[in-house]
């Protein structure tokens, strides 16, 4: 069975590592990040596609999109499915951190962090679930369902840190959504 994944925030760091591992495990992946990281996204895609796949499908495609926009997430999912096949895994990894004491944080700081870290995860979870439901029952491997939706919370979602108060609150929220 062919498996397709979207990994948000995968132009570098943990997201890139997740995408690399998934490709080694046989997935075709959508490398996603914000438009200002388009060159980084393209570099990851080129690296992952350096050796051709055995089935002729691309190992990776590039789709810059803003996870804070539900319509952008929907378009990213639609394009991924059109190019790679049915979505079987969504990894909502995109996130931002802000090192600032809580009393120094502004309402705009909270809005920015929560927009990416919580609303972005919400958009990915709900839009991916809608796509998977529309695709119907997945093929099964050893009787197990193969659709998966994952979110990245970090240690900040388990233990608060004084200089990362807003970030930690957003990662606690990711755990709640999950």
Is 97 within 8 Å of 164 (Cβ atoms)?
yes
Is 97 within 8 Å of 161 (Cβ atoms)?
no
pLDDT, residue 161, reads: 87
What is the average pLDDT across 111-140? Answer: 93
Please name the residues in contact with 64: beta carbons below 8 A apart, sequence gap of 6 or more: 32, 33, 34, 35, 37, 38, 41
pLDDT, residue 108, reads: 97
156 φ, ψ to 5°?
Answer: -60, -20
Out of 23-27, 65-69, 79-83, 144-148, least confident range:
144-148
Instruction: Judge whether residue 68 has pLDDT over 90.
Output: yes
pLDDT, residue 139, reads: 64
pLDDT, residue 141, reads: 55
Bridge partner residues of 62 (DSSP): 31
Q: Could you tell me where the beta strands, DSSP code E, fall in 3-143?
A: 3-7, 27-31, 60-62, 89-92
pLDDT, residue 12, reads: 96
Q: In the chain, pLDDT over 90 holds for what percent of residues?
A: 80
Q: In the chain, pLDDT over 70 holds for what percent of residues?
A: 95
Q: What is the dihedral of CA 108, 111, 112, 114, to 10 degrees?
A: 150
Catalytic positions are 167, 171
Domain residue ranges in the chain: 3-97+118-155
* Tens digit of each residue's pLDDT (9 = 90 or more) over 139-167: 665 555 689 999 999 888 888 888 999 99
Out of 54-58, 62-66, 80-84, least confident range:
54-58
pLDDT, residue 2, reads: 83
**Mean pLDDT of all residues in the chain?**
93
pLDDT, residue 164, reads: 93
pLDDT, residue 137, reads: 77
Please name the residues in contact with 63: beta carbons below 8 A apart, sequence gap of 6 or more: 6, 30, 31, 32, 41, 76, 79, 80
CATH class of segment(s) 3-97+118-155? alpha beta
Give the pLDDT band of residue 102 (cuts 50, 70, 90): confident
């Amino acid at each position: 069975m062919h498996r397709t994944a979207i990994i948000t925030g995968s132009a570098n760091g943990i997201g890139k590592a997740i995408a690399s591992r998934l490709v080694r495990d046989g997935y075709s992946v959508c490398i996603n990040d914000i438009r200002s990281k388009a060159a980084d996204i393209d570099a990851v895609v080129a690296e992952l596609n350096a050796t051709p796949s055995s089935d002729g499908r691309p190992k990776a495609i590039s789709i810059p999109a803003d996870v804070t926009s539900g319509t952008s997430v929907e378009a990213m999912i639609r394009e991924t499915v059109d190019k790679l096949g049915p979505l079987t895994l969504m990894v909502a990894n995109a996130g931002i951190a802000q090192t600032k004491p809580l009393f120094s944080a502004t309402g705009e700081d909270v809005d920015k962090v929560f927009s990416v870290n919580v609303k972005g995860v919400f958009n990915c979870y709900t839009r991916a679930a809608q796509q998977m439901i529309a695709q119907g029952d997945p093929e099964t491997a050893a009787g197990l369902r193969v659709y998966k939706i994952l979110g990245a919370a970090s240690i900040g979602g388990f233990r608060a840190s004084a200089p990362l108060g807003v970030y930690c609150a957003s990662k606690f929220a990711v755990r709640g959504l999950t």
